[in-house]
Amino acid sequence: MIKVENLTKRYAGTTAIRDLSFEVGQGEIMGFLGPNGAGKSTTMRILAGFMPPTSGRASVAGFDVFSQSLQARAHLGYMPENVPLYNDMRVTEYLNYRAALKGVPHRRVKERVGDVQELCGLKDVEKRLIATLSKGYRQRVGLADALVAEPDLLILDEPTIGLDPNQIRQVRELIKNLGKQHTILLSTHILPEVEMTCSRVIIVHKGRIEACDTPENLLGQIRQAGGVVVEAKTGSDNGVEELKKISGVRDVSSDVAGDWKTFSLRVESGVDVREEIYRLATARHWTLRELSQRRATLEDVFVEITHTEVSA
Amino acid sequence: MRKFFTLLGREVRSYFYSPIAYIVLVFFLLVCGVNFYFQITYMNQRPMAYTVEEAFFNNVFFWFAFVLIFPLITMRVFAEEFKLGTIEPLLTAPVRDWQVVLSKFFGALIFYLVLWAPTALYFLFFERVTHQTAAGSWGAYWGSYLLLLLLGSFYISIGCFASVLTKNQIIAAIISFAVITMLFFLGLIQFIMLDVSSSMRDVLGYFSAIEHMGTLSRGIIDTRPIVFYTSMTIVMLVLTHQAFQTRKWRL
Ligand SMILES: Nc1ncnc2c1ncn2[C@@H]1O[C@H](COP(=O)(O)OP(=O)(O)O)[C@@H](O)[C@H]1O
Ligand SMILES: [Mg+2]
């Protein structure tokens, strides 16, 4: 559905993406994951035919996004980051306009717009001015717009950014359902999102692909090198020093809340250090209130790969 | 073609959704109304060698309002889309760049013609009320309104070009105002500086909106301004299209 070969985009001064190559097959939900500034939006804008790449090629549904831009655009529904909309139009009016612009046959516009409004939960606000909509509803209008012409492929740039947790859950549910009929490429910098919705993940960092696999496989790679969480009252001990001495512990960070300290330990693959920690705690007379092995998440994969702070 | 009309429809409607459009409308009708009233009052007091219609289109009120409206009409056409980012959904829909450019141009032109429509009523009422003719001939009406259309097209295309250069509407307005005023005064040089050469005077004459209005509002249809303004409009639209293509994603 999407084929990207050696795609590079340079802006004046910065190289946003370097030599990107990947493919997205029919029916996949592909997650495009990376911190801010990784080049996700740039890639998506090129795929959506908004701007040409500096070098390399990309095609959508078999059409080159640059030389056959019009056909390529006709096959995809794109939702830009932050969903820019005409504030002076009403919801239904806007979707009617977009449907006509995307070549939905005249007699089908009403039906299609009705359908996507239903699907995206816009029925209550269909007569409202877009300027008066909340962020969540704007996001839904953007999604309805992407869907209105029944495209084979959906490209969604940060579809859940700026939403409250409830809305995020609804949008995720919606995307999952859409994935049954559409191929989807969605970008995000929020990790649980891909874990929950995507069938495959591409991790980009500083314009390069760092990993591309299913979420399960990525987790598999890192499972052994998981972590341990310890919450304890250590009295006069610092805690970090003592824990670091245990063999197999790579790294310890601590968080203090009153008397209680929470330690996060990163440990070497295949080592279970919990028994050692228990012994240490009894020997030093610590009061232990939590001692648990943490299931590795994509976040660990991500941190491992990018070595940067990740905000969730 | 349907996509073009869809775009055009949205352009025209967006004028009537915006408060600026109504401010322009009121301002323009006010100036035109005052202008018409003054001309008639003035002409009532002494015998004149020209008609009401000629007087209406050839005076400082008219030109003042005329030059001022273009930046106001055109400043938003592209700049606003750049600013809001709506250019992105617009251009990722399967539409061609020239369809977008032409829809912006014709949208502005239609709004501009709507501004002028009520002035035709002035002459109608004048003739009904006074039982006198307002113009020398029907050709005089045709001539004046034809020039309004031609000159309007040209100045609107300049405004569209200015708007494509920036995402700041105020800057777009200033650029087009400066360029239009300059062109307007270019045509005046020949009246002010009497020692310009005759060939220079011919060239400057092409830009002289005042001179063109002088002839056309008397019903004398000269093809030179028609050809000149039409070709200049096309040139400006081509430039706008070019600038749009290189600028659209350099937000
Ligand atoms: N229009 C632009 N002009 C110049 N630099 C840009 C432009 N858009 C993005 N960039 C730069 O390109 C890099 C990638 O940006 P972007 O693709 O928006 O990342 P992401 O969507 O992953 O946060 C960033 O360093 C950003 O500053
Ligand atoms: Mg982005």
Residue A88 or B43, more confident: A88
Which strand ranges, in their side-by-side order, compose the sheet holding A2-10?
A15-24, A2-10, A55-60, A63-64
Which ipTM score applies to this complex?
0.86
Residue A197 or A115, more confident: A115
Task: Output the ligand 1 site: residues, CB below 6 A.
Answer: A 11, 14, 16, 34, 36-42; B 251
Find tokens 């009708």 and name the residue: B29
The per-type count for chain A, helices as H runs and strands as E runs, is 11, 14
Mean pLDDT of A245-253: 85
Contact: A48, B92; criterion CB under 8 Å? yes
Q: Are A219 and A210 in contact (CB under 8 A)?
A: no
**A36 CA closest ligand 1 atom index:** 23
Percent of chain B with pLDDT over 90: 41
Nearest CB to A70 within list B6, B18, B94 = B94
Helix A91-101 vs helix B2-17: crossing angle, to nearest 10: 150
Question: pLDDT at position A310, please?
Answer: 43
Q: Spell out which residues of chain B touch residue A142, defining contact as CB-CB under 8 Å.
A: 89
Q: Phi and psi of A122, rounded to 5°? A: -110, 5
Considering A36-45, B61-70, B129-138, the range whose residues carry the highest mean pLDDT is A36-45
Sorting pLDDT into bands at 50, 70 and 90, what band is A149? very high
Sorting pLDDT into bands at 50, 70 and 90, what band is A214? confident
Question: pLDDT at position A300, please?
Answer: 66
For residue B1, the Cα-to-chain-centroid distance in whole angstroms is 25
pLDDT at B162 over 80: yes
What is the Cα–Cα distance from B37 to A204, expressed in whole angstroms? 69
Nearest CB to A101 within list B87, B88, B93 = B93
What is the Cα–Cα distance from B167 to B170, expressed in whole angstroms? 9
Question: pLDDT at position A309, please?
Answer: 45
| Mean pLDDT for chain B overall | 85
Sorting pLDDT into bands at 50, 70 and 90, what band is B251? low
* Alpha-helical segments (H) within B85-132: 87-92, 97-130
Question: pLDDT at position A220, please?
Answer: 67
Sorting pLDDT into bands at 50, 70 and 90, what band is B240? very high
Mean pLDDT of A277-293: 89
Domain residue ranges in chain B: 2-250
Beta bridge pairs of residue A204? A209
- To the question of domain A225-295 being in CATH 1.10.1740.10, the answer is no
Burial A156-188 (b: 16+ CB within 10 A, else e): bbbbbbebeeebbebbbebbeebbeebbbbbbb
CA-wise closest residue to A168 among A176, A151, B119, B4: A176
pLDDT at A311 over 50: no
Sorting pLDDT into bands at 50, 70 and 90, what band is B145? confident
Q: Are B105 and B160 in contact (CB under 8 A)?
A: yes
Question: pLDDT at position B194, please?
Answer: 65
Q: Are B92 and A78 in contact (CB under 8 A)?
A: yes
Among the ranges given (A43-52, A70-79, A124-133, A230-239), the one the predictor scored with the smallest mean pLDDT:
A230-239
Question: pLDDT at position A312, please?
Answer: 37
Among the ranges given (A77-91, A259-273, A293-307), the one the predictor scored with the smallest mean pLDDT:
A293-307
The reply to whether A98 touches chain B by the CB within 8 Å rule is yes
The reply to whether A86 touches chain B by the CB within 8 Å rule is yes
Domain residue ranges in chain A: 2-220, 225-295
Among the ranges given (A37-41, A98-102, B117-121), the one the predictor scored with the smallest mean pLDDT:
B117-121
Return the CATH superfamily for domain A2-220: P-loop containing nucleotide triphosphate hydrolases (3.40.50.300)
What is the Cα–Cα distance from B233 to A123, expressed in whole angstroms? 45
Which of B88, B97, B103, B247 to mutate against chain A (most A CBs within 10 Å)? Answer: B88
Among the ranges given (A135-139, A208-212, B49-53), the one the predictor scored with the smallest mean pLDDT:
B49-53
Sorting pLDDT into bands at 50, 70 and 90, what band is B189? confident
Exposed (0-12), middle (13-18) or buried (19+): which is A45, by Cβ within 10 Å? buried
- CA of residue A46 to ligand 2 center, whole Å: 13
For the stretch B4-19, pLDDT in tens is 999 999 999 999 888 8
For the stretch A2-29, pLDDT in tens is 999 999 999 888 899 999 999 999 989 9
Residue type, A135: K
Q: Which two tokens stand for residue B135?
A: 């113009």
pLDDT at A196 over 90: no
Among the ranges given (A296-300, B57-61, B160-164, B211-215), the one the predictor scored with the smallest mean pLDDT:
A296-300
Mutate to test the pocket of ligand 1, among A8, A32, A42, A190 (most ligand atoms within 8 A of CB): A42
Closest CA in chain A for residue B18 = A88
Mean pLDDT of A69-74: 93
pLDDT at A67 over 80: yes
Q: Spell out which residues of chain B touch residue A98, defining contact as CB-CB under 8 Å.
A: 89, 93
Residue A158 Ramachandran class (φ > 0 left, ψ -120 to 50 alpha, else beta): left
Residues near A274 by Cβ (< 8 Å), separated by ≥ 6?
A228, A291, A293
Nearest CB to B94 within list A45, A50, A74 = A74
Task: Report the half-sphere exposure of A158 (CA within 13 A, side-chain side).
Answer: 22
Q: Which two tokens stand for residue A113?
A: 């717009």
**A34 CA closest ligand 1 atom index:** 22
